[in-house]
Amino acid sequence: MPTMQVNFRLFTYNFIGLLLLSGCIGGSKLGNANKAYLIGEYDRAAEQFKKAYKKENNKYTKGEISYYLGECYRKTNKPKKASLQYARAVRYNYEMADAGLYLGDCYLAAQKYEEAIEAYEEYLQKEPLDKRAHNGIASCKLAMNDSIETRYTLTKLKTVNHTRYSDFSPGYASTNYDQIYFSSMRTEKKKRRKSRITGQGGSNIYMAKIDAKGEWTEPELLDEAVNSEFDEGSATMSANGKEMFFTRCRYDNEQPRSAEMYMVSRSGGKWGEAVQIEVGGDSLLVAHPAISNDGETLYFVSDMPGGFGGKDIWKTTKSNEGGWGQPVNMGSVINTAGDEVFPSVRMDGSLYFSSNAHIGYGGLDIYRAAYNDEKQYWEVHNLGRPLNSEGDDFGIAFKGMEEAGLLSSSRGSSRAVDNIYEFTLPKLEFSLKGMVYSEKNDEPVADAYLRLIGTDGTNVKLSVREDGSFGAKLAPKTEYVFMVAAKGYFNHKHKLSTVGLGNNKEFNIEVGMLPMEDAIVLKNIQFEKEKYELNKDAQQELNRLAAILNLNTSIILDIKAHASGEGSASEALQLSQKRAESVMNYLQTKGIPAERLSVNGVGNAEPVTVTKRQAQKASFLKEGDVLTDQFIRRIRGNSNREVAHSLNRRIEFLINKE
């Protein structure tokens, strides 16, 4: 059975013959409901089933009625109502196996993920190999984790959309992207015919364009060359804007008919006569045409033999005789046992479509399929939130290769009304902020300057403010190097890159400048008690030091290591020597020659004098305190005493020049 999304948006009345169920409810007292359901009038059938349920006493029959009432709601995109009916059918032990599957689908669409997982798992006990249920469980986990949320933004087209009736499947009319065609189920003032399937109007194709003020105009109904007494929709244009491909659903009171595809040409601003596109047999359903950019390949939806279940996406190419060749199924990577519908083709040849059986967020989700020439197969990816939602998301159209366009969605509608949304991917924004300070006293280095060089051609000199801060805008997909220089300090070099970043980012970098004299204590190079191994923080700090040493090759570094509260004086001396050697060995792995390094372990002989910044971080200390063993023993609290010892367990660097 196709889902409700496919029924009322695509095939309407003439597709009803394909929906007939051999197992529908029998019995004269359900005659009206049964007849309405069999001909696809789900809105009307739901009312009849509700009346019949109230009068029924047999539990099995009540379960049967509940199932078909759930089907009516599901097919008209009312998952919350449908889930109540499927749950009741399961409770009454109605033996229609897919009730559990559809119950899970409806819970998923209603964002009741735990209940959905439970329903799918119960269904899998009966049908353990049904991939739809396995994908349903994966979809619940995807929705709960929100693992593929993107930066796209969506805005509803208020002027184009009707407040009460569905508007869907937009498509651009030209490369100017200032005119669109779309399907609508709105009812005209003079023609209030409503569908007994959905309670909405019949589907027709409308046009809207952007006016001189940059606003969308009120939609206009296309003339009778396109719109007929039947239902039309899902229009797509050729690249030159001269041909329109669309679906027409003819209906016959005497016999069921299938959806058909048509093509109409435009000349001098007028549409000619619509011509049916014949692919497959007369009785086969073919719909949702999507023409490739070169006009040689036509993608479409069908349930013809040779598919994978439900509705599949197929393609056909132009023949030498001018018609269309033998249809080819797009394969099991794209098609599933569920429904794949609403294909569209981008200029680069990538295929977009909607599915209710791939892993997604509920209902129909939009997917991108790109062919991997190297691996020789299609790769399918969910477009993520917010392009996809818990509702039905389908009918996407891009502005060429821009990350912008239109799509249709039922999100947020309790009445199964689709709306057209405009989407765009905002430009990535990257920035650089930082602080230049002295490694000697943590004070700002205001007279420093910074030069920023990028692979995009950037080469600018940035001023450093009095407080030592600086900032700059960065470009996407660019690698940068910046140099910092100041009188009395060794030059500093740093690299950063925006290549491969998919989200906005602000780089915050503190630049510690090494003075050309005195001893320097770098941050984060401290040790655990009785340990001499370097932790990750220490390694990162030494990486920064190594970069400075490689940039300033005249530097000779004396490495002095300290210990505190760790055994006797001789034991502390040995431990500090090992710490100094650990630092030297690591710097050598970063390309610093041994002749530029010397080590000296001094044990606990030189306790630290607390700086202003250290006192601010440790409230039990004050600036000028000397952290001798005797002083530390007087500090209250084991944790405070350990903090004081950790300040003593440090590495100092004495910088000399050749």
Q: For helices 98-109 and 59-75, give the axis angle rounded to 10 degrees.
A: 50
Angle, vertex CA 431, rays to CA 425 and CA 435, nearest 5: 160
Does 544 have pLDDT greater than 50? yes
Residues 194 and 242 reside in one and the same domain: yes
Tell me, what's the pLDDT at 254? 55
- Domain hosting 466: range is 430-513
Residues 383 and 463 reside in one and the same domain: no
Task: Identify the CATH number of the domain in which residue 328 sits.
Answer: 2.120.10.30
Q: Among 513, 530, 551, where does a domain finish?
A: 513
Residues 418 and 449 reside in one and the same domain: no
Q: How confident is the model at residue 11 (pLDDT cuts 50, 70, 90)?
A: very low
Residues 243 and 383 reside in one and the same domain: yes
Mean of pLDDT over the chain: 86
Q: Percent of the chain at pLDDT above 90?
A: 47
Q: Does residue 94 belong to any structural domain of this protein?
A: no
Q: How confident is the model at residue 178 (pLDDT cuts 50, 70, 90)?
A: very high
Residues 207 and 261 reside in one and the same domain: yes
Does 406 have pLDDT greater than 90? yes
Residues 319 and 245 reside in one and the same domain: yes
Residues 436 and 415 reside in one and the same domain: no
Q: Among 513, 543, 568, where does a domain finish?
A: 513
Nearest alpha carbon to residue 293 among 341, 350, 331, 334? 350
Say which range, 141-145, 289-293, 631-635, 649-653, has the weakest mean pLDDT. 649-653
Tell me, what's the pLDDT at 7? 38
Does 131 have pLDDT greater than 70? yes
Residues 461 and 350 reside in one and the same domain: no
β partners of residue 554: none
Does 420 have pLDDT greater than 90? yes
Q: Among 465, 493, 513, where does a domain finish?
A: 513
Q: Does residue 88 belong to any structural domain of this protein?
A: no
Q: How confident is the model at residue 194 (pLDDT cuts 50, 70, 90)?
A: low
- Dihedral sign of CA atoms 67, 68, 70, 75 in order: positive
Number of domains in the chain: 3
Q: What is the widest separation between alpha-carbon atoms in the chain? A: 106
Does 304 have pLDDT greater than 70? yes
Q: Does residue 77 belong to any structural domain of this protein?
A: no
Does 285 have pLDDT greater than 70? yes
Tell me, what's the pLDDT at 525? 81
d(CA 301, CA 656): 76
Q: How confident is the model at residue 383 (pLDDT cuts 50, 70, 90)?
A: very high
Residues 166 and 245 reside in one and the same domain: yes
Q: CB neighbours (10 Å) of residue 374?
A: 5
Residues 548 and 609 reside in one and the same domain: yes
Tell me, what's the pLDDT at 15? 33
Q: Does residue 175 belong to any structural domain of this protein?
A: yes
Q: Percent of the chain at pLDDT above 70?
A: 90
Residues 209 and 340 reside in one and the same domain: yes
3-state class of 11 per DSSP?
helix
Please state the pTM of the whole predicted model: 0.72
Asked whether 5 and 394 are in contact (CB, 8 A), the reply is yes
Residues 533 and 481 reside in one and the same domain: no
Say which range, 247-251, 330-334, 644-648, has the weakest mean pLDDT. 247-251
Task: Identify the CATH number of the domain in which residue 574 sits.
Answer: 3.30.1330.60
pLDDT tens, position by position, 438-491: 887 788 988 898 999 999 999 999 889 989 999 999 999 999 999 999 988 888
